[in-house]
Amino acid sequence: MNQDLLSELAAIVSPSQVLTGEDAAGYAIDWRKLFPGKPLCVVRPGSTEEVAAVVRACVKHGAGIVPQSGNTGLAGGAVPDSSGAQVVLSLSRMNRIRAIDPVGMTLCAEAGVILQTAKEAAAEKGRFLPISLAAEGSAMLGGVIATNAGGINVLRYGMTRALVLGLEVVLPNGEVLDLQRSLRKDNAGYDLKQLFIGAEGTLGIVTAATLRLVPQQRNTLTALMAVESPQAALALLARAQTELGDNISAFELISGISLGLVEQHFGLKSPLQGGNWFVLMEAASTLPGLRDVAEEMLGAALEAGEAVDGVIAESGAQAASLWALREHITEAEGRAGKGAKHDISVPLIEIPAFLAAAEEALAPTPGLILNVFGHLGDGNLHYNVVMPKTADSEAINRLVHDVVARFGGSISAEHGIGQYRVGELARLRAPNELALAQALKGLIDPEGIMNPGKVLARRGGP
């Protein structure tokens, strides 16, 4: 154990904020329990200055640093390896909302602020932070930004990247890079903040951010529709886009198998009859009249055969019950058995062909359950495979990812690479693209101390 480093860290943040042994156990494994690690310690700084001092101490002693926010990620990107030599830097104490500007519609907050807390603070000012995730009650802004998180509102508002106006970052040498601007238009040179959004802590540590807000939507509509096929779902999406335009905030595709798992393990049942697939749509507007347009749109879709049944929620409670079907899918899958998760995206027009090709590729493997759901509006599907315990999950991953590559897609749409997909990224990305990424990593983090082994295959360093 590096006792000198532990002593220096205790002097920076106080001994009570340096955790070792059993006290550090909760920080050492990911949410899915796939990647158990063993940290040297967990250090919990309370300010940007303390983060910078911790980084300098780790550089001095050659210790790798694993930044961690809420640790709700699904790719193992925020946990240490099993060497017992890496320092987990928890941002949980950096939880202040620094400022909210309801006129400029911005929110400035530290990396340890829980997403739901930030959303509630914006709502108190009549504004809306449009990042909506299943884990928003525990995910923290630093991790949301570091993974460029997606969620259900990407169709309307874009990924997290589109909502970040400014960042405060501690670099791998311990310097503080102040990019905390709240400008909507800033075309002065390179947009350096984009380097750190989605980099999963491999280039620096996000300590604070200024985020773009939007007006609070007074009128919200939630509808569940049954469709016969993914092709029909795309036709329904096209109709909804034409009739509702930018008012559509979510357009989720859910397979009948997924809803069957939810019913089996939670007793929650769809109110609709018929259909092999389902679409859960949410639309929101600051103006009245949304429901009338949506009802007319759904009626036309039923008449055209694009949907076979549908229901529009009559109350907030009914809307919540429809969303509960979607939100219980992941947990239902976990109860069903061992799963191989694929957070993929393909061009929208290719989704039906991709689904058919992926099913064909997996057909020779017996005992698989295809749990397919996701954000149809932006081409992001969670193509998850529940399989027997004896199945080779790596082989399943390769089969699915090869089909994704064939259709010009991405093996990570919103969850990141972490350590879960490092090998597959190295296998499928062009060599010159990987070489440029490695060169960038080497330039910014020459000692290789920032989140070693995540995103890019590990090359030297701590």
Domain boundary among 90, 119, 139: 90
Q: How many CB atoms lie within 10 A of CB 178?
A: 12
Same domain membership, residue 307 and residue 356: no
Tokens of 201: 């802590």
* CATH code for position 348: 3.30.70.2740
Q: Which of 329, 361, 392 is the last residue of a domain?
A: 329
Quick check: is 434 in a domain? no
- Tokens coding 373: 């759901």
Question: 47: number of CA atoms within 13 Å, CB side?
Answer: 6
Are residues 23 and 49 located together in one domain of the fold? yes
Asked if residue 355 and residue 304 are part of one domain, the reply reads: no
Residues 176 and 266 both lie in one domain = no
What's the rounded Cα separation, in Å, for the pair 70 and 62? 25
Residue whose entry in the numeric block shows the structure tokens 């590990």: 458
| Helix%, strand%, coil% for the chain, nearest 5 | 40, 20, 40
Q: In whole angstroms, how far apart are CA 54 and each of 2, 49, 74, 172, 206?
A: 14, 9, 27, 10, 14
Q: Are 152 and 109 part of one and the same domain? A: yes
Do residues 127 and 207 share a domain?
yes
Q: Is 458 in a helix, a strand, or coil?
A: coil
Tell me whether residue 358 is in a domain: yes
Q: b or e along 205-240 (b: 16 or more beta carbons within 10 Å of the residue's beta carbon)?
A: bbbbbbbbbbeebeebbbbbbbbeebebbbbbbebb
SS3 392: coil
Q: Is residue 451 part of a domain?
A: no
Look up residue 125 and give its two tokens.
């000012």
Question: Does residue 188 sit in the same domain as residue 240?
Answer: no
In-domain check, residue 175: yes
Please give the DSSP secondary-structure letter assigned to residue 417.
-
Question: Are residues 119 and 73 in contact, defined by beta-carbon separation less than 8 angstroms?
Answer: no
Task: List Cα–Cα distances, 383 to 49, 57, 226, in angstroms.
Answer: 42, 42, 19
Least Cα distance to 319 among 284, 276, 286, 371 occurs for 284
Does residue 457 belong to any structural domain of this protein? no
Residue 144 shares a structural domain with residue 182: yes
Do 107 and 200 reside in the same domain of the chain?
A: yes
∠ CA 262-407-225, nearest 5°, is 35
CA 416 vs CA 117, 334, 341, 458: distances in Å: 23, 20, 12, 16
SS3 state at 45: coil
Same domain for 140 and 199, yes or no, is yes
Domain end, chosen from 269, 300, 329, is at 329
Is there a domain that residue 440 lies in? Answer: no
Phi first, then psi: give them for residue 248, nearest 5 degrees: -75, 120
Task: Provide the CATH number for the domain around residue 223.
Answer: 3.30.70.2190
Same domain for 124 and 77: no
Looking at the structure of the chain, the number of domains it has is 4
* 453 and 422 Cβ atoms separated by less than 8 Å: yes
Structural domain span for residue 269: 219-329
Task: Assess contact for 156 and 248: CB atoms under 8 A.
Answer: yes
DSSP 20: -
Question: What is the per-residue pLDDT for 461?
Answer: 60
Domain for residue 461, yes or no? no
Residues in the chain: 462
φ and ψ at residue 266, rounded to 5 degrees: -130, -5
Q: Are residues 104 and 34 in the same domain?
A: no
Distances 196 to 26, 30, 161, 440, 457 between C-alpha atoms, Å: 26, 22, 10, 12, 18
Q: State CA 312 to chain mean position distance.
A: 28
Tokens of 120: 């509630």
Q: What is the pLDDT along the chain (462 residues), one digit of tens a residue?
A: 589 999 999 999 999 999 999 999 999 999 888 899 999 999 999 999 999 999 999 999 999 999 999 999 989 999 999 999 999 999 999 999 999 999 999 999 999 999 999 999 999 999 999 999 989 999 999 999 999 999 999 999 999 999 999 999 999 999 999 999 999 999 999 999 999 999 999 999 999 999 999 999 889 999 999 999 999 999 999 999 999 999 999 999 999 999 999 999 999 999 998 889 999 999 999 888 899 999 999 999 999 999 999 999 999 999 999 999 999 999 999 999 988 999 999 999 999 999 999 999 999 999 999 999 999 999 999 999 999 988 899 999 999 999 999 999 999 999 999 999 999 999 999 999 999 999 999 999 999 999 999 999 876 567
Whether 421 is in a domain gets the answer yes
- Distances from the Cα of 57 to the Cαs of 40, 50, 52, 63, 66, in angstroms? 14, 10, 9, 9, 14
Q: Which amino acid is at 296?
A: E
